[in-house]
Structure 1
């Protein structure tokens, strides 16, 4: 019976320690999140969380930006690496669409950026194909 009480007390004292470790991890993750102030045309500004890009997503972005002639092929240091030239090209592309960020350099993407890039890319691709047919 005595051993059971000791085990019960040990479990009760261990629970707050486990909870504290979990909350410290959550706080650390919140500190690592990057938010930028974004103003869309005809809308109020919002804080958007930038997602950490995977190499596949960055490579896709870089290839589409090259096609749009916003990013030059020689600007890319390494495929799938988000560097200064890529982030400057993304900011330039967003400015063309009328979207401004209160940031000089981006370290991630939002879903809106991906959507606008796809729209611009397919529009430019269709325009180039139509020009070739003429």
Structure 2
């Protein structure tokens, strides 16, 4: 599957690890203290925490891939860093959770934990996607707290 084809796929078929491999971005797994993943622009490498579940790793790689696409490097200010992180989360969530998949799961899943597991995403990225869709009419919305901040 080429990167162009992979980009067209979304939801359950979205494979950020395949895209990173096609782009020649190395992924290294190691112990990390306070994060699950880091993108190094100057080394063209992503470092992710060892011991992540398959779902966690998929979400982290999708998030870090968005930093690659954006050309994000070291942040000049805390505000710039927050913007980069929110943008990476939003774009990753849009690719990981296709509306068609979400609609199918919403028909039967009784809670966000079950829905996230079925969609192969973390509950946090499911909340990001629901916030992106404004949550109107989607189940599980009241459990998410603020409609602005996740």
Q: Which has the higher helix share?
A: 1
Question: Comparing both chains, which one has the higher relative contact order based on Cα–Cα distances under 8 Å and sequence gaps of 6 or more?
Answer: 1
Q: TM-score with structure 2 length normalisation?
A: 0.23
Q: TM-score with structure 1 length normalisation?
A: 0.25
Higher Cα Rg, which structure: 1
